[in-house]
Amino acid sequence: MNIAVIGLGHVGLAYALLFASKYKVVAYDIDSVKINNLKKGILPSKNEELMKFFCENNLNITFFDTFSEIKNNIDYYIIALPTDYDEKIGSFNTYEIEQTVSKILRVKPNGKIILKSTVPIGFSNKLKRLFDTKNIIFVPEFLREGCSIYDNLYPSRIVVGDETVEGRKIAELFLSISTHSTANIKNVMLVSPTEAEAIKLFSNTFLALRVAFFNELDSFAERRSLNAEVVIKGVCLDPRIGNFYNNPSFGFGGYCLPKDTKQLKKEFIEINAPVIEAIDISNTNRKQFIVKQILERKPKIVGIYKLGMKYNSDNYKESAILSIINELLIVGIKILVYEPNLNVSIDNVIFEKNFELFTKQSDLIVANRWDRGLEAYKDKVYTRGIWIRD
């Protein structure tokens, strides 16, 4: 079987590598630097799980940065392109997906296209009408950042936006890169395209809601001088709530939760949805609360310990700490950043590579996530993370 994966971000690259362990894969991305590095065996991320899979498996994969190099012998085209939320249009920007589908169908009019990109509800059917084809099927991904290989090997569920025989074939395709456990097979859902799109958006929005809930709990605990860890543990011992995804943070961020929450809120055009509408507000309030707590400690120099959105992450897209840095700069606080995992720059911010100098110069060290490297300096660390996990 020949599979083309289009878009090699953290989702697309994971699928490209996994399918290449079973089938012949061509992997395409417009980023020529990324493609050249992949050809040399250099991954764009420092993700250990991905690197291990890449190095330890015999993969049948070819990388391209020119679309025309993809031959027309492809059985399935998997599109994993970004769909950022565009504030001007009030929706996901799906332009690149539409252009890519057009290119595929020009080369192969009966090409079978699997959408992995998160899209607005109703988008799959819109594409089918636009291109007069039934061969566009939305199959949402539910991959945690940093666990994309594991989550494909042991998927919580496989949802396919097609209730026909073709939908079953696609489900079996994704099962073929999993562990084939009985639980996985039981959790296959063949649903309508719009139901699949709704499942994806509601799933991520609930995760954002859960983050916001425990952050509000933590804000309450800090203001009332309560032990947040004790309160969270007591709440989460209830199996209906569960002791997971409950570690307080400075706010949710990253590739998915902020944009997906905005998109779902937009979908409620004629339906009153105060809970959905409040999630983004809660996240903004949490970041403002953190800024206030930092300023109450009256530091002149604030050291930011890593920019990552999650524990042990090299993704800082829409990371809450960026908003906090901006607010602190506005009131004249000098910002020092220690970030060994990323090569980035921020206006009016000093980056210090030497950890000892960083800790020495900082009046207060602010860390979205606690780790053992901060243990010796815990008296000058401000964090709301309780456990060394997300």
Q: What is the pLDDT of residues 329-348, one digit of tens each?
A: 999 999 999 998 888 899 99
**What's the mean pLDDT in 235-261?**
96
User: How would you classify the pairing of strands 85-86 and 381-382?
Assistant: unpaired
Please say if the pLDDT value at position 328 is more than 70.
Answer: yes
Q: What is the pLDDT of residue 229?
A: 98
Domain boundary among 129, 159, 191: 191
Residues 360, 301, single domain; the answer is yes
Residues 222, 166, single domain; the answer is no
Domain boundary among 146, 174, 191: 191
The Cα–Cα gap between 218 and 262 comes to 24
Q: Any idea what the CATH number is for the domain that residue 336 is in?
A: 3.40.50.720
**What's the mean pLDDT in 361-382?**
95
**What's the mean pLDDT in 118-125?**
99
Tell whether residue 261 is among the known ligand binding residues: no
CA 157 vs CA 4, 207, 281, 327: distances in Å:
23, 16, 30, 40
Q: What is the pLDDT of residues 63-116, one digit of tens each?
A: 999 999 999 899 999 999 999 999 999 999 999 999 999 999 999 999 999 999
Determine the 3-state secondary structure of 3 from DSSP: strand
Q: What is the pLDDT of residue 186?
A: 80
Residues 166, 236, single domain; the answer is no
The Cα–Cα gap between 281 and 261 comes to 11
Domain total of the chain: 2
Please say if the pLDDT value at position 246 is more than 90.
Answer: yes
Residues 51, 154, single domain; the answer is yes
Q: What is the pLDDT of residue 183?
A: 58
Please say if the pLDDT value at position 207 is more than 80.
Answer: yes
Residues 265, 148, single domain; the answer is no
User: How would you classify the pairing of strands 113-115 and 136-138?
Assistant: parallel
**To the nearest whole percent, how much of the chain has pLDDT over 90?**
89
User: b or e along 119-135 (b: 16 or more beta carbons within 10 Å of the residue's beta carbon)?
Assistant: bbbebbbebbeebebeb
Residues 209, 183, single domain; the answer is no
Residue from 159, 149, 204, 184 nearest 15 by CA: 149
User: 111 with 14: CB under 8 angstroms?
Assistant: no
Tell whether residue 295 is among the known ligand binding residues: no
Residues 6+ apart with CB under 8 A from 204: 118, 256, 257, 260, 261, 264
User: 197 with 120: CB under 8 angstroms?
Assistant: yes
Q: What is the pLDDT of residue 67?
A: 96
Active site residues: 256
Please say if the pLDDT value at position 211 is more than 90.
Answer: yes
Tell whether residue 1 is among the known ligand binding residues: no
Whether 30 is covered by a domain: the verdict is yes
- Tokens (6 digits) for 39: 């050809």
Residues 187, 238, single domain; the answer is no
* Maximal C-alpha separation, the chain: 64
Residues 96, 223, single domain; the answer is no
Tell whether residue 246 is among the known ligand binding residues: yes
Lowest model confidence (mean pLDDT) among 22-36, 181-195, 283-297, 365-379: 181-195
User: 101 with 131: CB under 8 angstroms?
Assistant: yes
Q: Which amino acid is at 228?
A: A
The Cα–Cα gap between 280 and 116 comes to 24
Read off the pTM: 0.95
Whether 364 is covered by a domain: the verdict is yes
Tell whether residue 316 is among the known ligand binding residues: no
Tell whether residue 245 is among the known ligand binding residues: yes
Q: What is the pLDDT of residues 152-198, one digit of tens each?
A: 999 999 999 999 999 999 999 999 999 866 556 789 999 999 999 99
Residues 54, 119, single domain; the answer is yes
Whether 390 is covered by a domain: the verdict is no
Residues 182, 227, single domain; the answer is no
231 half-sphere exposure, CB direction, 13 A CA radius:
17
Please say if the pLDDT value at position 284 is more than 90.
Answer: yes
CA 257 vs CA 34, 200, 357: distances in Å:
25, 11, 35
Q: What is the mean pLDDT of the chain?
A: 95
Q: What is the pLDDT of residue 180?
A: 67
- Tokens (6 digits) for 299: 């530091």
Domain extent for 6: 2-191
Tell whether residue 29 is among the known ligand binding residues: yes
Tell whether residue 85 is among the known ligand binding residues: no
Residues 247, 178, single domain; the answer is no
Whether 388 is covered by a domain: the verdict is no
Q: What is the pLDDT of residue 309?
A: 77
Domain boundary among 191, 219, 252: 191
The Cα–Cα gap between 288 and 312 comes to 24
Whether 387 is covered by a domain: the verdict is no
Residues 121, 213, single domain; the answer is no
